[in-house]
Structure 1
Amino acid sequence: MPVRRVVSLVPSLTEAVAVTAPGLLVGATDWCVRPAGLDVVRIGGTKNPDVAAVTALRPDLVVADEEENRAPDLAALRAAGLDVLVTRIRTLDQAFAELERMLVTGCGVTAPRWLDDARAAWDALPPSPRARRAVVPIWRRPWMVLGRDTFAGDLLARLGVENVYGDHPERYPRIPLDQLRAAGAELVVLPDEPYRFTADDGPEAFPGLPAALVDGRFLTWYGPSLVRAPAELRAALR
């Protein structure tokens, strides 16, 4: 049975479906802001989707992610008789494989040109002269940073940035600010999501340490943004 109606519970997957197959997407979360002007039914947040609203849309497929979405919500959607495809993405290679699985196997569309362009853009990255050690906060009050086994950490490694906490037992550990300052980093990388770090809210916490403010979409989203991400991140990290 062909897939004609898709609901997405993840902003980056929403953009991937909407750009690849316009008209296929019928529902998305309140946080799904790309592509601009997306006209679909809103079904709540990534962590609290309205299961009844999703079911009422009669989707042929619901797309979700094991990190972005909660297992009980996905179980409730399956119990309602819906087909739920869940991605698991911790590296760039996994992102490419999972995006193709979602779009081609799940949605039944042809692999998009932007996926090939994204692979080519990352393959074309020049080798970095040496790795710079960095702290990568993702939240403040309390301070939380990238730890082990994260998609963003893998992207940074490809760009010559070594995550100081890349071997931490937790994926998103809480680390006191005094410990972050004493971690031996040469750089602090500050994305604008999930916490919106700005020039006035982040760099001042790390006096004497160079700060790179980066667009969180290019660091954490897996979708069409991966085409521009290498160039955008390289420019921000200089």
Structure 2
Amino acid sequence: MKIINDSLKREILIKTTPKRIVSLVPSQTELLYDLGLENEIVGITKFCVHPYHLKATKTIVGGTKKVDFNKIKALQPDFILCNKEENSYDFLPELEKIAPTYFSDVNSIQDSLNLIANLGNILNRRTESINLIEKINFKLTNFKSFIKDKPARKVAYFIWANPWMVAGNNTYINEILKLNKFENIYANRSRYPKVEINKIRHEGDPDVIILSSEPFPFKDEHAMEIATYTNRSVTVFADGELFSWFGSRLLLSFDYFKELHKKFESHF
């Protein structure tokens, strides 16, 4: 029996090492799997698509914003994993009636590494978590060397259309943009502000428009619409998972970012 603190500084009593876990966060579901906890996962969301076969072998308990508490209770979990951004904090009272509930809050790569270490400790996967952290840090160091001499570029990172919404300040995405030497023209705004694209030229006129693959399915017509309001922007359709998923997904992110920068070299 031990008392742990989650990312929100809440004290959680863990009686024994959890063996039946419900994850309500896609990136954290993937992390659990990569820590060797596939057998311990009993419930996931419909958005938990990595690894894909889990959707056929685990119980789907809803989405990230709306869950079926009765389904979760029926699974008899001894640990529930949530995230401050992905899930509603209103879930907490009902979830706590069912099992100890851990809320993560990840706004930087260091936060992500801390989460990996914490879950490794809680779930008796210390060796696996240490190895994963070492691999991520190796790739991070290599990427920082790669990006060091790259020019900074102004960007706008869109996550939704009609209403148009972007990633702003105090977000994990914004931290990833900074790592890439992308200067977010909306970094002085709230986390995910609505914006008027007809004002984009006056608000920073970005060199690059990034249209994320999630949560909105952007298409060519969206890129063309934004382009009418910019002077010189290059528009890219980006893999949103590699910009917004934390945890073990970082193992893939840095190589993807390198390829993205190489593509830009032919445009500028």
Output the TM-score relative to the length of structure 1. Answer: 0.93
> Is 2:253 the partner of 1:233?
no
Equivalences for 1:1-238 in 2 at 5 Å? 1-21=16-36, 22-38=38-54, 39-78=57-96, 80-101=97-118, 103-110=119-126, 111-112=128-129, 113-125=131-143, 126=145, 127-168=148-189, 170-184=190-204, 185-207=206-228, 208-237=232-261, 238=264
**SS of 2:195's equivalent?**
coil
Q: Which amino acid aligns with 1:23?
A: N
User: C-alpha distance in 2, partners of 1:71/1:55?
Assistant: 18
Once the two structures are TM-superposed, the CA of residue 204 in structure 1 deviates from its matched residue by: 4.3
Structure with greater Cα Rg:
2
* Structure 1 SS opposite 2:80: strand
Structure 2 CA distance, aligned partners of 1:179 and 1:192?
23
Greater mean deviation of Cα atoms: 41-50 or 195-204 = 195-204
Counterpart CA distance in 2 for 1:50 and 1:128 is 49
User: Residues of 2 paired with 1:121 and 1:199: CA distance?
Assistant: 33
Following TM superposition, by how much is the alpha carbon of 1:116 offset from its aligned partner in structure 2, in angstroms? Answer: 2.0
Q: Is the 8 A contact 2:69 2:94 kept in 1?
A: yes
- Would you say the 8 A contact 2:77–2:98 is kept in 1? no
Per the TM alignment, residue 200 of structure 1 is displaced from its structure 2 partner at its CA by: 4.5
- For the residue of structure 1 that corresponds to 2:209, the secondary structure is strand
Letter of the 1:12 counterpart: S
Secondary structure, counterpart of 2:46 in structure 1 = coil
CA distance in 1, matches of 2:64, 2:110: 24
The DSSP-based 3-state class of the residue aligned with 1:118 is helix
Mapped partners of 1:134, 1:2: distance in 2: 44
1:27–1:81 distance in 2 versus 1, CA, 3 Å? closer
Kindly state the Cα deviation for residue 171 of structure 1 after the two structures are TM-superposed.
Answer: 0.6
Which structure 2 residue ranges, 5 or more long, are not aligned? 1-15
**Over 4 Å off, 4+ runs:** none
Identity of aligned residues (%): 26
Aligned position for 2:4: none
TM-score (norm 2): 0.83
Q: Which amino acid aligns with 1:202?
A: A
3-state SS, counterpart of residue 200 of structure 2:
helix
Q: Is the 8 A contact 1:19 1:35 kept in 2?
A: no
Q: How far apart are 1:48 and its partner, in Å?
A: 0.6
Query: Going by fraction, where is helix more abundant, 1 or 2?
Result: 2
The alignment yields a C-alpha RMSD, in angstroms, of 1.6
Tell me the CA shift for residue 236 of structure 1.
2.1
Q: 1:223 to 1:164 in 2, by over 3 A?
A: same
